[in-house]
């Protein structure tokens, strides 16, 4: 039985909706910027409409891209950065592989061993059979304890995950944080945890598509557009 189209009951065609969502997630634009760009093309919407499109279709884009992802390498780089949500600092935990491919992310209020453990368990569960061989972090003590506990859970007699805590070895994810922050621009302050998670999920997915960490994508911007259109064409 086919799934109902996510575009059902929307006044605008799917190509316009996907274009607006892609613009917002790919470039450091505000909702008003997207509205202005659409208006230049004779399409009149308001900011709240673009916001609702992003909140609805960003998770859908992430879900549909999951099955096209390339397998992440077994060498991970893990670190946390921070963004403002509801006027408060929240911590964004991120893991990428040696090729810069996003493994997973998690947004939390605390920055402690419990949050680190929850994030790493979530990331490892996501890749399932392809657990990392090495995890490179900074020198935060929480990571060493958490990785030791994870190793003990899988095999108490063998350190299946090797922990590397030389800060200079983690420059890859530090640079990736900076690229993400530039993309967020002045959107680094979100109103709610839910909208922050949805937007970040969409941003990470679009960056994954742009970098070619997926199967069956042609190069360049046209390749990105066609890939995203193809994800939704059966339900449009």
Give the burial string for 39-76 (b: 16+ CB within 10 Å, else e).
Answer: eeeeeebeeebbeebbebbbeebbebbeebbeebbebb
**Nearest to residue 94, comparing CAs of 125, 62, 134, 137?**
137
Per-residue pLDDT tens for 5-59?
Answer: 888 878 899 999 999 999 999 999 999 999 999 999 999 999 999 999 999 999 9
Between CA 121 and CA 124, with CA 123 as vertex, the angle to 5 degrees is: 65
Residue 225, H or E segment: helix 220-232
Residue 236: predicted pLDDT: 46
What domains lie within the chain, and their CATH numbers?
Answer: 14-68+215-232 (no CATH), 75-180 (3.30.420.10)
Residue 6: predicted pLDDT: 84
Q: Can you spell out the DSSP letters for 117-182? A: HHHHHHHHHHHTT---SEEE--S-HHHHHHHHHHHHHH-TTS--SEEE--GGGGHHHHHHHHHHHH
The separation between CA 30 and the C-alpha centre of its own chain, rounded to angstroms, equals 18
Average pLDDT over residues 203-215: 94
Residue 234 clears pLDDT 60, i.e. is over it: no
Per-residue pLDDT tens for 148-172?
Answer: 888 888 776 556 889 998 777 778 8
**Comparing 2-6, 161-165, 188-192, which segment has the lowest mean pLDDT?**
2-6
Residue 1: predicted pLDDT: 44
Question: Percentage of residues in the chain with pLDDT exceeding 70?
Answer: 93
Query: Mean pLDDT over all residues of the chain?
Result: 89
Across the chain, the runs of DSSP E, i.e. the strands, are 75-85, 88-97, 102-108, 134-136, 162-164, 189-190
């Amino acid at each position: 039985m086919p799934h109902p189209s996510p575009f059902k009951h929307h006044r605008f065609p799917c190509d316009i909706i996907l274009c607006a969502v892609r613009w917002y997630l790919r470039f450091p634009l505000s909702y008003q910027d997207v509205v202005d760009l659409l208006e230049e093309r004779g399409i009149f919407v308001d900011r709240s409409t673009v916001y609702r499109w992003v909140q609805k279709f960003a998770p859908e884009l992430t879900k549909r891209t999951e099955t096209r992802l390339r397998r992440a390498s077994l060498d991970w780089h893990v670190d946390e950065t921070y963004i403002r949500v509801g006027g408060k600092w929240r911590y964004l935990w991120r893991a990428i592989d040696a090729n810069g491919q996003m493994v997973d992310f998690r947004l939390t209020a605390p920055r402690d061993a419990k949050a680190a453990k929850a994030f790493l368990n979530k990331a490892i569960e996501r890749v399932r059979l392809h657990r990392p061989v090495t995890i490179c972090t900074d020198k935060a003590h929480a990571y060493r304890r958490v990785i030791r506990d994870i190793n003990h859970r899988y095999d108490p007699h063998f350190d299946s995950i090797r922990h590397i805590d030389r800060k200079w070895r983690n420059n890859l994810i530090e640079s990736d944080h900076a690229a993400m922050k530039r993309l967020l621009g002045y959107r680094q302050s979100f109103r709610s945890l839910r909208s922050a998670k949805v937007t970040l999920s969409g941003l990470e997915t679009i960056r994954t598509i742009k970098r070619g960490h997926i199967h069956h994508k042609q190069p360049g911007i046209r390749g990105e557009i066609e890939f995203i259109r193809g994800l939704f064409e059966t339900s449009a």
